[in-house]
Chains A and B, each alone.
Chain A
Amino acid sequence: MIIIITNTNLNTGTETSARADKRAFDELRNLKIEAGVLERADGSAYLEMGGNKVLAAVYGPRELFVRRLMQPNRAVLRCKYNMAPFSVDDRKRPGPDRRSVEISKITSDALSPAVFLEKFPRSTIDVYIEVLEAEGGTRCAGITAASVALADAGIPMRDMVVACAAGKSDGNVVLDLSEVEDKEGEADLPIAMMPRTGEITLLQMDGDLTEEEFQQALDLAIGGCKKINEEQKKAIKNRYGE
């Protein structure tokens, strides 16, 4: 019988600083957004946030071949969230799993309110999100990148949806959880919003928060979204000018 053991120390390092990566409680990870990175797609965006590397592409509005999904008075917005097999430590088997199906659905729900779907009856707008490397918070990174790709595709929108998570790690309410904080933390609260109106279009939570902590986390996440939204706008301006 052969047992496989490893001799590495997976040092999470939370003992030296309040946060593993020495960020302040309300500090985002490094963020980089670029619009228009793909040739074939109608719109695209690449986003790096901490160790996350996410690519989003948009096709449409285009003809919808699946008749049963067709809406006579508006377009449907279909999202596909997918993780590359090499994006995580242990290879992920290709193809959809329950997690990616759920994230695809909530991404579609998060983006739909911002898009003027009623302008394109009987058609579809397809959003594809590919996670090339994952380091906690990929659903938020995906939504943020997808909005930039939608704008890059020239799809009329009320606002650019932006997403960010807050949560509780090591007893503290913190913004933008890293992979370690997400796995070992007490709570995770990803939200998406339309920053112009402040309307929240995605809200999930898992873990344990008191009412006060929830309010704190929600306010942190909203603040984070506003900062990320500035970067989204910059990415579009860099591509198309002021």
Chain B
Amino acid sequence: MVHIVPEIIKESVTNLVKNGERTDGRAFDEYREISLETGIIEKAEGSARVKIGKTQIVIGTKPQIGTPFGDTPNVGVLMTNTELLPMAAPNFESGPPDENSVELSRVTDRCIREGKVVDLEKLCIVEGEKVWMVFLDLHVIDYDGNLMDAAVLGSVAALMNTKIPTTKIENDEIVLDYENMMPLPINEKALMCTFAKIDGELIIDPSLEEEEIMGARLSIGMTEDGNICAMQKGGAQPLDREKILKVVSIAKMKTAELRTHLP
């Protein structure tokens, strides 16, 4: 379904940015209110609910034992899947994941994988035969802009909240000990920061109104020591070198700020 943005909204949002202002009165480098809860779904081994402004995502993890990929026989598997639920916005439709949903899954996955959030090698049970496969499912229930940052923040929180049974090998059998649960091996808290380009300016945490009229978008994933672990540009307009370098340094501060929301 095509979503039409009235010209008058486009003009008013752009004019505000021209004057250094935003529709909700925020500064260009200011996030909306963030809330994060973990352990909200008892049946999921790990879970989180994240809100950035009115954007809301429920995330659950499900570890299962499976066979590793042939080229990485001693490494566990992380699978990220996103559902842009039709309840989240009037223009979201039910059905197989569309390109926006796949992009969100892949960028979230990339930030977590390349940022080495989970030590996947520790998820190997029997090399070449059995490893833990962690399914990370993101349920977007309310869409009010900037899904990427919410997705990564919530995913890291859900992974930190995840408990798996300890495993022992006895006579060629894997014994799962549910009495002794252990947290997933987490060794990094990589987070993502997204900027929208409006009228040449790059502004952080775009709201829905801003996303609808933005010319381009840049998401930057960063590890705790400030190294970049994932990036994604979206939108049809180009970005220039100076602006990119500027927001990379802003992202360093802002991902550190986001990290304070993690438990």
Q: Give the dominant DSSP class at A's interface.
A: loop
CB-contacts of A5-46 with B (<8 A): 5-8, 38-41, 44
Q: How far is the CA of A131 from the CA of B106 in the complex (A)?
A: 24
Q: How far is the CA of A62 from the CA of B42 in the complex (A)?
A: 36
> Is A82 positioned at the interface, with any CB of B under 8 Å from its CB?
yes
Q: Give the dominant DSSP class at B's interface.
A: strand
Q: How far is the CA of A86 from the CA of B94 in the complex (A)?
A: 18
The answer to whether A51 touches B61 (Cβ under 8 A) is: no
- Please give the number of chain B residues whose Cβ is less than 8 angstroms from any Cβ of chain A in the complex: 44
Q: How far is the CA of A3 from the CA of B65 in the complex (A)?
A: 11
The answer to whether A132 touches B173 (Cβ under 8 A) is: no
> Is B174 positioned at the interface, with any CB of A under 8 Å from its CB?
yes
Minimum CB–CB distance from A53 to chain B (whole Å) comes to: 7
Q: Residue A82 contacts which of B44, B85, B88 (CB distance < 8 angstroms)?
A: B85
The answer to whether A133 touches B1 (Cβ under 8 A) is: no
> Is B109 positioned at the interface, with any CB of A under 8 Å from its CB?
no
Output the nearest chain A residue to B96 by Cβ-Cβ distance: A95
User: Which residues of the other chain, A, contact B44 by a CB distance below 8 angstroms?
Assistant: 86-87, 133
> Is A67 positioned at the interface, with any CB of B under 8 Å from its CB?
no
Output the nearest chain A residue to B61 by Cβ-Cβ distance: A86
- Please give the number of chain A residues whose Cβ is less than 8 angstroms from any Cβ of chain B in the complex: 40
Q: How far is the CA of A40 from the CA of B176 in the complex (A)?
A: 43
The answer to whether B90 touches A133 (Cβ under 8 A) is: no
User: Which residues of the other chain, B, contact A57 by a CB distance below 8 angstroms?
Assistant: 87, 141
- Known: A40-B88, A80-B86, A133-B42. Is A91-B142 also a contact (CB below 8 A)? no
**Contact string, B61-101, partner A, CB cutoff 8 A, digits 1/0?**
11011000000000000000101011111100010100000
